[in-house]
Structure 1
Amino acid sequence: MTPADLRLDEAAVRLGVVVEAPQHSGLLGVLDYLSATPLPPGTLVRVPLGRRVVTGVVWAVLPPSGEVPVRATEDLKAVIEVLDGLPALPSAWRQLVAFAAAYYQRGLGEMALMVLPPELRQLDAVQLQRRLKRLDKALATAPVAAPVATVAATAAGDSTGAPLPELSAQQALALSALAAGGARPFLLWGSTGSGKTEVYLRRAQEALDAGQQVLMMVPEINLTPQLEARVAERFAGRRIVSLHSGLTPAQRLRNWVMALQGHADLVLGTRLSVFTPLPRLGLIVVDEEHDPSYKQQDGARYSARDLAVYRAHLEKVPVMLGSATPSLESWHNALPVAEGGSGRYLRLDMPERIGGGDMPRVRLLDQNHVLKATMGQEPPPLSRPLLDAIAQRVERGEQSLVLLNRRGYAPVLHCSDCGWKSGCPHCSAWRVFHKADRTLRCHHCGFSERVPRACPDCGNQDIQPVGRGTERLEEQLAAALPGARVGRIDADVTKLKGALEAQLASVHAGEVDVLVGTQMVAKGHDFRRITLVAAVNPDAALFASDFRAAERQFALLLQAAGRAGRDADVAGHSEMWVQTWHATHPLYQALQRYDFASFATRQLQERQMAGLPPYASLAMLRAEGKTQEAAQGFLEAAASAVQDLVAQTPEAAGLMLYPAVPTPVQRVANVERAQLMIECGQRAVLQRFLSEAQAVWLAQAQQHRRSGLIRWAVDVDPLAI
């Protein structure tokens, strides 16, 4: 039966199908199509949309009777084909997508199709069947062997099971609480090196032994290769798949299909994996739950951590959020109501390192008391006491880590004669000097040029680097520590496939004495020989306008400190040096005591007084335009157009729209950006307001496109303001 014939068939079934459509199209919900037969919700189909044929997901069968009068189907198009090689997407998956679309103010079809593998969205029924046949053949020729180690086998003294590490008392207590706590959120708060990963693995083993699937999420899988290897080693014999952006489209589709069909036992993935359909889901783990990488920063700006908590609630399974420095929202949720928290999570404390090793001693090196450089000279990268401490480690055959969260050779080139600086012509930012390839590179738009031989403005040939990045720090340390083997790990030296693994292997093999790195090396790595960590330039975040800056900086520094002294044999003399001009700052004082609880208490008090999360809910209306006037003009018109909605909001909710302002980096790739913050004391009221305002803002956007508006979006629960 052709689609044309189907329109005239009185027995045709009308289906509600969601398809991917741009936000400005106004097609935010379910579209009606005709089908010769009823299809269960969750079925993947190919349908016409304008002049294209696109993939869609059946969301509903309308009406329940299944029959539609001919007059109601005259303008409807028919489903072209059904991708029936796959099972229908589960009801829980559809509920998760619907919640995410509503909460983050995106179209239902946009959200549903965005979270599917890109290759799946391009395949027709025949092509999909070929992929599935290849997968079935691969699964048939590689059957799963019996697990090499299980908790049950070890507990029973089974000699065939590989021995598991002995649990510490605090690990055993945490596992007991997990077993007794049922399906609820848990915050596993443990110091670096306390054995949180072993708790994840033991609890995952219990779920696998019960025939369930496990979703284990990490912020950036390419930064945590050791976790991936450890999971594969522990669960050898189980089918483990990864889901992250580093996979090829074919690999990602294959792993996703294995998860949907129930063949994959454990999924290890980054933020997008929270949407993986898992018919036997029994446990969700979110490692390093505080990491900002869990928040999508473009398109549908969702928080994978928050959606993991919602999904666990939806499917009635436990979710474990683990961190040495929890986000203040999670910390507040894990505080009892009597202590000012919400009491929604159960906190499990693991303050001690495995083996009884101490955390490194934190030494605050006050730069105000160190001899400053002479006038006109740049200060040395490290003060003499710190250089001497590193040299002593080199002599003893130990390793040191120097943290500088800025890649490149120098943030900017400067002409002392005329004042020229290496600005980006397309962004309101400086181009960074990269000495290795002699380029000036913008880290925002990617624009790159060769370093000029002389100042472009005045011809002065003596243009100098200003500031310091990891590339320059590596060079300066090599000169200051003759004979020391200095290495570097940052995004520039790990671009090629396998480069990060090779660099890490070199560090583990003892081929590096001093490792220079960005935040890439501050989390998730088990460096056994590092006994000294130094933070070179940590002060920038202390006085930033972003209210989360201190929280992030504390987390970064504590995570970095945790790289030292992980081997109990060297823990006693491990140190972290913080080179600062503000040694008395409360953040550093709390870090010196490893007192996250008091730091969090102080931060929460400040947030409560300022009316900031978690004591209020925020959303950011963002706009991009050909000019700053166009971007701000739309935002101001959008705010004016919803004043009636604001007036209808109860006074107790405290809904407030702030004036439109440029973003911190105002122009990127010749596009001007502006934002308008919306604040409300009650999350439900804010959500209702945003939902009602969408139609108004969509109409405003159509009017402002003629004046230079390019795109706009709502960012719910923004990470930065």
Structure 2
Amino acid sequence: MVYDLAISKVPLRCLYSYKSQEKLEPGERVIVDFHGRKTIGYVVKVSDKPASRELKEILQRLDRVSYLDQSDVEALESISERFFSPPGLLFDLAFPSFIDDYAETVVESLTPLVGFESLPLGEFIKKYGHDALKNQLDKGYIQLKKCFGRKTPRPRVSKWYVVVRNGLKALTRVHDEIEYDVISFLLTNGYATVEQLIESVGVSTKKIKQMQQEGLIELTQFLPVNTENLELAEAQLEPAPRGVTVLSGSTIGERLRSVIAFMKKITDENKSVLILVPFTSLTYMVAGFIRKFLNVTVQVYHARMSRSQRAKVWLDSVGDKTQVVVGTRVAAFLPMRNLGLIVAEESDDDAYYQFEDPVYDALELAETRARLRDIPFVICSSEPRLIDFHRREHLKWLRIPKENLNSDVSIVDVRQSGSILSEDLVESVRKTISEERASVILVRRKGFAPYVVCFACNHVLMCPNCDVALSFHKSQNVFKCHQCGYVRKAQSECPNCGAKALYPKGVGTERVERLLKYHLPGARIVRLESEELEPFEVQEQFLKLQTNEIDVLIGSRIVLQGFGTDRVGLICILDYDGLLSQPDYNTRLRMFQTMRKIRSNFTSARILIQTFQPQDGFLRDVFTVNSEDFYLEELKKRKEVNYPPFCDLVQVILESDLPQTGWELVNYCVRSLEGETVLGPVEHPIFKMAGKYRYHFLIKTKDLRKTLSKFNDVLMKIGKMGWRVFVNPPRLW
């Protein structure tokens, strides 16, 4: 038979046909000869091509079984076609190469003549030798097979937290004074690390293990989001038993609590639940939250985990273990054999879309997997995605009502202000601290300042590889490019005129932190940067915010991703104008969703917005306009100019070593796309990036498959190097 295969680690957007004498399963891994080298291929489907002498034979079946469900194989093929992504790279995300570190190659008998049924490869070679192995393989007496589960990953956990089991009831079960002291300490502080317990209470590790065995305490990776009022929502919502359900309104915690009974129903049927979140730090917070309600194994899965940690979750997933996995977009590829429900939280966030190869939208993959498996898919957010609102008549729609959403909003005109922080902002933060409540400061840019300028000659320090200004990171004393990663040590001397007059300009999180510490010397101020902290450290900071250990939390959008808390009394948005002025057709929608998320997460907080445009109509109405009215108006505008969701929008970028060559190629490509609605080509807003010169154009299409096929035909003529394709990107890349 002839099979179409996706080739591992090959960035080509097509399948390759090979023939085999054996019947193969979809998703099964095989070894093939690809351009003279042996490599792994994934069986996608039976090919419609006839067998011929020119087709190469499949050399070896690697696992002899498929660890991917046929519906998941179909989903990966569909996503590959829709997003013009290399299928081999998508399958690699579902079957990471490091999984083979935990497999054992076994020699299996195909005839009773060899005298054994199964032997580990090493034992066979030791007993019979390499020549016997080759000879019996050639004669078809034996076969090789990779078996998982014989080697168990033993991942190291970065930090263990100790929490009390059964709350105050644990005090009635203690056996001695030291156990009483440990329980009392944990009830007072909420949690502690093992090291903190040993240092503060004087307990031994042996005693901690004993208390764990007695069920008094528990060691966990996940901190509870709240130590109080963790009860099921009174009104449990019932998503559709299959298909898509949109759940909007309120906070992450309330949305999850409202469907806990539905999750329990799924796990009681010995099926697993996959919960997707946009940020790594959220995986631990959501996992800790779920563990309070479901008596089932809860694990996290994200790209920042070690290989052994990810391997353990993967191996548990392909088995029959009932579990809840909380993960980022890469978790959408987990081959969970008994998957019964997929939930996507904060579905309006851009982080679900991957802009690097392979390009994909994790939400579309999750929805496709759910549809093909005929299981429910619940999409959750404060405000729904525009595409979900557009197709609302075909979906089940649930909304959590929220009272007291009339936020106290102050708009501060900073046109005449001589400081980054207005007097109103500083005084508002000071007042909030005096009320023993916390402030959250939202800053668009990281680092100390987004650009550096010379006061003598007005020269702006630029990245040598990109058309982007270098930002200044004072904590590391470096100039950094956030596009290509270029870093160099900070200096005061201007490279243009030689004067020692370089000065950082603009607003960054580090600068805001420094200024607030100057104005509020006694305040407990914390700057939150996900790149500088481990995910579990981020959850620690959010818990400290809830437990009155932080007065001011500063950061970019990550500060809005925690669970809402009434302890936050003030939200400050510093760079509103920068957020709204981004050249992107989704900017207005993104700002609306961000503002409404702030209002939903922090219902009792005052909101202060600094702006150079205090009369801006959008700013005036964003907190008061009815959500449905906003979406209807947005859809009306998009229909008039034919933008998504009324068409598919394809952004095509060409990266070239030579600007003139690139311009000629991109123009030829556009001229060749006859019959398509094309905007451009033009220079990309960031014309030079990582040493490449970039041009781009947009295609609006009603027939995506036909358009991508036509574009692929053009690439076959002019070459595929340097082209990037993004289908319906949440922002123009």
Q: Secondary structure at the match of 1:678?
A: strand
The alignment status of 1:94 with 2:73, answered yes or no, reads yes
Q: Secondary structure at the match of 1:361?
A: coil
The alignment status of 1:41 with 2:59, answered yes or no, reads no
Q: Distance in 1 between matches of 2:47 and 2:585?
A: 48
Cα pair distance change 1:41/1:514, threshold 3 Å: closer
Q: Secondary structure at the match of 2:251?
A: coil
> C-alpha deviations, 1:188-238, integer Å up to 9, x for none?
1112377101123222111111222212111113245321211233334x2
Q: Secondary structure at the match of 1:601?
A: helix
Q: Distance in 2 between matches of 1:616 and 1:463?
A: 48
Cα pair distance change 1:75/1:392, threshold 3 Å: closer
Cα pair distance change 1:385/1:212, threshold 3 Å: same
Contact 2:347/2:385 (8 A) holds in 1:
yes
Shift of 1:121: 7.0
Shift of 1:130: 7.0
Q: Distance in 1 between matches of 2:66 and 2:619?
A: 54
The alignment status of 1:543 with 2:581, answered yes or no, reads yes
Q: 1:126 aligns with which of 90, 105, 109?
A: 105
Shift of 1:389: 1.9
Shift of 1:90: 1.5
Aligned 1:316-327 pairs, distance under 5 A: 316-327=374-385
**2:494: which partner in 1?**
455
Q: Please list every run of 5 or more consecutive structure 2 residues that lacks an aligned counterpart in the other structure.
A: 107-144, 156-164, 167-227
Q: TM-score, normalised by structure 2?
A: 0.79
**2:429: which partner in 1?**
390
Shift of 1:516: 1.2
Shift of 1:309: 2.0
Contact 2:102/2:148 (8 A) holds in 1:
no
Q: Distance in 2 between matches of 1:33 and 1:248?
A: 37
Q: TM-score, normalised by structure 1?
A: 0.80
**1:717: which partner in 2?**
728
Shift of 1:687: 1.8
Q: Distance in 2 between matches of 1:125 and 1:17?
A: 24
Q: 1:414 aligns with which of 441, 453, 464?
A: 453
**1:686: which partner in 2?**
704
Shift of 1:598: 2.8
593-602 vs 463-472, which moves further: 593-602
**1:188: which partner in 2?**
247
593-602 vs 226-235, which moves further: 593-602
Aligned 1:348-427 pairs, distance under 5 A: 348-352=398-402, 358-359=404-405, 361-367=407-413, 372-373=416-417, 379-427=418-466
**2:479: which partner in 1?**
440
Q: Distance in 2 between matches of 1:164 and 1:399?
A: 20
Q: Secondary structure at the match of 2:292?
A: helix
The alignment status of 1:79 with 2:138, answered yes or no, reads no
Q: Distance in 1 between matches of 2:233 and 2:338?
A: 30
Contact 2:565/2:602 (8 A) holds in 1:
yes
The alignment status of 1:201 with 2:218, answered yes or no, reads no
The alignment status of 1:32 with 2:90, answered yes or no, reads no
Contact 2:103/2:147 (8 A) holds in 1:
no
Shift of 1:23: 4.3
| Structure 2 residue identity aligned to 1:77 | E
Shift of 1:561: 3.9
Contact 2:6/2:87 (8 A) holds in 1:
yes
| Structure 1 residue identity aligned to 2:395 | Y
Q: 2:6 aligns with which of 3, 15, 18?
A: 18
| Structure 1 residue identity aligned to 2:500 | Q
Contact 1:634/1:701 (8 A) holds in 2:
no
Q: Secondary structure at the match of 1:659?
A: strand
Q: 2:716 aligns with which of 682, 698, 703?
A: 698
Contact 1:16/1:60 (8 A) holds in 2:
yes
| Structure 1 residue identity aligned to 2:697 | L
Contact 1:30/1:108 (8 A) holds in 2:
no
| Structure 2 residue identity aligned to 1:533 | I
Cα pair distance change 1:225/1:587, threshold 3 Å: farther
Cα pair distance change 1:136/1:449, threshold 3 Å: closer
Q: Distance in 1 between matches of 2:598 and 2:150?
A: 47
Aligned 1:47-446 pairs, distance under 5 A: 47-60=32-45, 72-73=52-53, 76-84=56-64, 87-120=66-99, 126=105, 129=146, 132-135=149-152, 168=233, 171-172=235-236, 174-175=237-238, 178=239, 181-192=240-251, 195-236=254-295, 238-334=296-392, 343-352=393-402, 358-359=404-405, 361-367=407-413, 372-373=416-417, 379-446=418-485
Q: Distance in 1 between matches of 2:387 and 2:715?
A: 30
Cα pair distance change 1:125/1:82, threshold 3 Å: farther
Q: Secondary structure at the match of 1:520?
A: helix
Q: 1:583 aligns with which of 599, 602, 614?
A: 614
| Structure 2 residue identity aligned to 1:83 | D
Cα pair distance change 1:99/1:284, threshold 3 Å: same
Q: Secondary structure at the match of 2:496?
A: coil
Q: Distance in 2 between matches of 1:63 and 1:629?
A: 43
Q: Please list every run of 5 or more consecutive structure 1 residues that lacks an aligned counterpart in the other structure.
A: 1-12, 139-147, 150-162, 335-342, 374-378, 566-570, 647-654, 703-709
Shift of 1:460: 1.8
Shift of 1:296: 1.1
Q: Secondary structure at the match of 2:278?
A: coil
Contact 1:41/1:88 (8 A) holds in 2:
no
Cα pair distance change 1:691/1:604, threshold 3 Å: same
| Structure 2 residue identity aligned to 1:700 | I
588-597 vs 208-217, which moves further: 588-597
Shift of 1:440: 0.6
**1:667: which partner in 2?**
688
Shift of 1:432: 0.5
Contact 2:153/2:309 (8 A) holds in 1:
no
| Structure 2 residue identity aligned to 1:504 | F
Q: 1:469 aligns with which of 472, 491, 508?
A: 508
Q: Distance in 2 between matches of 1:596 and 1:667?
A: 39
Q: Secondary structure at the match of 1:444?
A: coil
Cα pair distance change 1:483/1:63, threshold 3 Å: closer
Contact 1:213/1:278 (8 A) holds in 2:
yes
Q: 1:616 aligns with which of 627, 631, 647?
A: 647
Q: Distance in 2 between matches of 1:439 and 1:136?
A: 39
**1:516: which partner in 2?**
554
Shift of 1:385: 2.4
Shift of 1:613: 0.8
Q: Distance in 1 between matches of 2:56 and 2:502?
A: 67
Contact 2:283/2:327 (8 A) holds in 1:
no
| Structure 1 residue identity aligned to 2:443 | L
| Structure 1 residue identity aligned to 2:397 | R
Shift of 1:350: 1.0
Shift of 1:690: 1.3
| Structure 1 residue identity aligned to 2:95 | L
Contact 1:243/1:267 (8 A) holds in 2:
yes
Q: Distance in 1 between matches of 2:230 and 2:475?
A: 44
Shift of 1:492: 5.0
- RMSD, matched Cα: 3.0
| Structure 2 residue identity aligned to 1:465 | P
| Structure 1 residue identity aligned to 2:87 | L
Q: 1:557 aligns with which of 586, 590, 595?
A: 595
Shift of 1:164: 10
463-472 vs 73-82, which moves further: 73-82
Shift of 1:475: 0.6
Shift of 1:78: 3.6
Q: Distance in 1 between matches of 2:285 and 2:69?
A: 32
Q: Distance in 2 between matches of 1:493 and 1:400?
A: 21
Q: Distance in 2 between matches of 1:668 and 1:506?
A: 40
Contact 1:628/1:662 (8 A) holds in 2:
no
Cα pair distance change 1:480/1:126, threshold 3 Å: same
